[in-house]
Amino acid sequence: MAQLVCQNLSIGYDGKAILNDLSFSVNAGDYLCILGENGSGKSTLMKTILGLQSPINGKVMTGDGLRPNEIGYLPQQTMVQKDFPASVREVVISGCHGRCGFRPFYSRKEKELADKMMEKMGVGHLSKCCYRELSGGQQQRVLLARALCATQKILLLDEPFAGLDPKVTGQLYELIDELNHRDGITIIMISHDINIALEHASHILHIGKNVFYGTKEEYVERGAWHMLVGSGGGKE
Ligand SMILES: Nc1ncnc2c1ncn2[C@@H]1O[C@H](COP(=O)(O)OP(=O)(O)OP(=O)(O)O)[C@@H](O)[C@H]1O
């Protein structure tokens, strides 16, 4: 049974579709990379999956024990986030917010969870530091710890490591691989980099004028060709 199903989705703004009739499903433990040119609708698809935006048509469903509020999200970094005036611990524990309901404070269990996730992401020693004084790579580790406070099941990452140096980027991709392989956390990641996608993903969704969805192996075999000519491959 799939954790996430997108069925005949049409997405866009003000009733005008950017993508039409998109169907794919994600199983627990999958690592899906979403590829596509600038403006093809990758971020819009993520927002729709997260329920931040309604589809024009079709639906997004969760299954296999996943509830819609158990999807962790790591957004593209904006200047506002980079300058966020809070301590690392405050940023991480805010990931528990979805669990609090109307309770205006965090429980001991939530504080312990935040500490555990900071350790896991290698930023435990920075917990009292101000978030905005960290390096870009450290900030992304903090945001990963925050997302892991929200969920241990599935993470959505929107070009999470853009603009970081190659060494730091490599370490962060290793961390994501570990979460996927060791902890079985499902990963859905937007990427611009086809090589990164082919190195790490189990499945590829390539959106644009044509759409390809399939395993990485299927993509290598016929996906790129399908994107070029629009026939002979892909499960649309
Ligand atoms: N809030 C909005 N209102 C109207 N149109 C929007 C809005 N946000 C994005 N768009 C348009 O929707 C299209 C898809 O944008 P989206 O950000 O989903 O693309 P993307 O594939 O994530 O691009 P990039 O790779 O540049 O991040 C673009 O043409 C964009 O201008």
- What CATH number does the domain containing 164 carry? 3.40.50.300
Domain contains 23: yes
CA 61 to centroid of ligand 1, rounded, Å: 23
Q: How many domains does the structure of the chain reveal?
A: 2
User: 126 CA to middle of ligand 1, Å?
Assistant: 35
54 in the same domain as 98: no
Q: Identify the domain boundary among 126, 152, 178.
A: 152
Query: Which residue range is the domain that position 55 belongs to?
Result: 1-66+154-236
Does 55 share its domain with 171?
A: yes
Q: Report how far ligand 1's centroid is from the alpha carbon of 35 (Å).
A: 14
Nearest CA to ligand 1 atom 5: 13
* Long-range residue pairs from 173-180, CB within 8 A, at least 24 positions apart, any chain: 173/199, 173/200, 175/121, 175/122, 175/141, 175/144, 176/200, 179/148, 179/155, 180/29, 180/31
The residue whose C-alpha atom lies closest to atom 4 belonging to ligand 1 is 13
Cβ–ligand 1 contact at 191 (below 6 Å): no
Say whether both 8 and 44 belong to one domain.
Answer: yes
User: Which atom from ligand 1 is nearest to the alpha carbon of 207?
Assistant: 21
Same domain, 43 and 89: no
- pTM of the shown model: 0.90
Q: Could you give the dihedral angle defined by the CA atoms of residues 44, 45, 47 and 52, in that order, rounded to the nearest 10 degrees?
A: 100
Question: Is 209 in the same domain as 147?
Answer: no
Confidence at residue 131, expressed as pLDDT on a 0 to 100 scale: 93
What per-residue string of b and e applies to 105-135 under the rule 16 or more CB within 10 Å gives b?
ebeeebeebbbebbebbebbebbeeebeebe
Residues 202 and 133 in one domain: no
Domain boundary among 152, 183, 209: 152
Q: Return the structure tokens found at 141.
A: 């580790």
Query: Does residue 71 fall inside a structural domain?
Result: no
Please tell me the predicted confidence (pLDDT) of residue 103. 60
Measured distance CA(151)–CA(71) in Å, rounded: 6
Per-residue pLDDT of the chain (236 residues; tens, 9 = 90+): 899 999 999 999 999 999 999 999 999 999 999 999 899 999 999 999 999 999 999 999 999 999 888 888 888 776 657 777 899 999 999 888 765 555 667 889 999 999 999 999 999 999 999 999 999 999 999 999 999 998 889 999 998 888 888 899 999 999 999 999 999 999 999 998 888 999 999 999 999 888 999 999 999 887 766 676 665 444 44
- Note whether 170 and 221 are same-domain residues: yes
Distances (CA, A) of 82 to 19, 131, 137, 158, 217: 31, 8, 11, 16, 37
Whether residues 4 and 58 fall in one domain:
yes
The pLDDT value recorded for residue 162 is 84
For residue 184, is it within any domain?
A: yes
